[in-house]
Structure 1
Amino acid sequence: MPEIDIKKQKILIVEDNPHFRTLIQSILQALGVENIEEARDGAEAMEVLRGYDADLAILDWKMDGVDGIECVRRIRNDTESPNRFLPIIMLTGYTEESLMNEARNAGVNDFLGKPISAKSLLTRIISVLDQEFSYVETETYFGPDRRRQQFPHQGNDRRKEQMNFVKLKVYERMESRVG
């Protein structure tokens, strides 16, 4: 996979708090990103996206007007959406699992908990842009395949246990022949 050049990325920031929006923009500029657009809520973001071919959207969850979750739903499901495949990072101060599931079910690609740092933002951006997400469309969902994460196997490894059992049987046979 080619290395991501963050400086060439077109990034949309959707954040209702002007101070936090400026902070995100300052971090992106310090990282070398030159092409940045901003929106104060999800409705404004949809308008911006009609004329701006973003490579990534960074959205706050809780905003006045159209919030981040509703904006994600519009990006993913609206027939007039300019880019249903737009990679989306959701910013949130709420990291409860049920809320993360709600955002994932709306179609976000990844999350970043507040407060953020330049390092955490850069890491998340590269992670999202570097992955080739499979997208799924059903009657009730369009977005990145939610099964994309690989979790380590929980519980005993039966294959290993079976191999140990086979080794034990072979050892017992060898001993019975020798002794």
Structure 2
Amino acid sequence: MSVRPYVEKKTALIILKNDHLALFVRHFLRANGTDQTTIVYSTREAQEAMRNYDFDLFFIDYDMEEPTAVEWVRALRLSDGPGSEVPVVIIIPAASKEKVWAARDAGVNEILGLPITSNLLEARLTKMYAHPKPFIRVPTYIGPCRRREVVQIYHGDNRRGGKGRNGEESLLGDDFDTAALVAASAADMPSLAREIKGPARLNTPGKRQD
């Protein structure tokens, strides 16, 4: 099954530090019919872009700062705006169990390591859209259902440390302590969530767009 039926006519916000990777993701999405893609290089730029557009899909670099990617995703889920349930794909350059748990507890839908190929993107996005997880809203967690499962992080055929088929490493997911994560950032999240809530659907100069 092709990913095209799921992403065509959609709009995507790509929040990645690496310009080559951002352009690769953009090219893949455009080749599959995505209506518009916007590239920004920081979470602050992402917040600005979201005041001007509704986006249907987010890609974000785990290594973003001020706010971090984990903080940004958690704030997105808490925003209660039109983008609060939009799928988020996070890219973790050097994946570890701790980073995977933090990303999943923030409310991401899909996690990718490096390197990324077109076939991998198509397979993971197709899985994400064809078999969506229920969206959960409880006092301690907002995001896709986080029931216990094995997460596959792709490291490439020759990446050292890859343990599974095609270099994939199995990282065991679990019922995470989301209460602790939410409580730790409770003071900052409401204001950040308000900042990224609600677009005005206008064009934003200075951003890389189709």
Normalising by the residue count of structure 2, what TM-score does the alignment of the two structures yield? Answer: 0.62
Distance of aligned partners of 1:150 and 1:23 in 2 relative to their CA distance in 1, 3 Å threshold: closer
Match of 2:88 in 1: 88
Q: Which has the higher helix share?
A: 1
Task: Name structure 2 gaps, 5 residues minimum.
Answer: 152-210
CA RMSD in angstroms, aligned pairs only: 2.3
Letter in 2 for 1:94: A
Distance in 2, Cα, partners of 1:55 & 1:130: 15
Match of 1:42 in 2: 43
Match of 1:55 in 2: 56
Report the 3-state secondary structure (helix = DSSP H, G, I; strand = E; otherwise coil) of the residue aligned with 2:64.
coil
Letter in 2 for 1:54: F
Distance of aligned partners of 1:119 and 1:10 in 2 relative to their CA distance in 1, 3 Å threshold: same
More displaced, 4-13 or 56-65?
Answer: 4-13
1:126 pairs with 2:126: yes
Report the 3-state secondary structure (helix = DSSP H, G, I; strand = E; otherwise coil) of the residue aligned with 2:51.
helix
> Structure with the greater relative contact order (CA < 8 A, sep ≥ 6): 1 or 2?
2
Distance in 2, Cα, partners of 1:122 & 1:8: 16
Distance of aligned partners of 1:66 and 1:144 in 2 relative to their CA distance in 1, 3 Å threshold: same
Using the TM superposition, give the Cα deviation of residue 24 of structure 1 relative to its aligned residue in structure 2, in angstroms: 1.7
1:69 touches 1:106 (CA, 8 Å); kept in 2?
Answer: yes
Report the 3-state secondary structure (helix = DSSP H, G, I; strand = E; otherwise coil) of the residue aligned with 2:8.
helix
Report the 3-state secondary structure (helix = DSSP H, G, I; strand = E; otherwise coil) of the residue aligned with 2:132.
coil
Using the TM superposition, give the Cα deviation of residue 86 of structure 1 relative to its aligned residue in structure 2, in angstroms: 0.8
2:13 touches 2:58 (CA, 8 Å); kept in 1?
Answer: yes
Using the TM superposition, give the Cα deviation of residue 64 of structure 1 relative to its aligned residue in structure 2, in angstroms: 4.0
Report the 3-state secondary structure (helix = DSSP H, G, I; strand = E; otherwise coil) of the residue aligned with 1:133.
coil
Distance in 1, Cα, partners of 2:148 & 2:48: 30
Which aligned runs of 4 or more in structure 1 are off by greater than 3 angstroms? 148-151
Letter in 1 for 2:100: M
Letter in 2 for 1:42: T
Distance in 2, Cα, partners of 1:22 & 1:31: 14
1:46 touches 1:75 (CA, 8 Å); kept in 2?
Answer: no
Distance in 2, Cα, partners of 1:71 & 1:8: 25
Distance in 1, Cα, partners of 2:148 & 2:88: 15
Distance in 1, Cα, partners of 2:50 & 2:126: 21
Letter in 1 for 2:53: Y
Using the TM superposition, give the Cα deviation of residue 29 of structure 1 relative to its aligned residue in structure 2, in angstroms: 2.4
1:76 touches 1:85 (CA, 8 Å); kept in 2?
Answer: yes
Q: Aligned pairs, how many? A: 148
1:42 touches 1:70 (CA, 8 Å); kept in 2?
Answer: no
Using the TM superposition, give the Cα deviation of residue 46 of structure 1 relative to its aligned residue in structure 2, in angstroms: 2.3
Q: Deviations over 1:68-126 (max 9, x none)?
A: 212101111135x4321111111111221221111000000111111101111122222
Match of 2:33 in 1: 32
Normalising by the residue count of structure 1, what TM-score does the alignment of the two structures yield? Answer: 0.72
Task: Name structure 1 gaps, 5 residues minimum.
Answer: 152-179
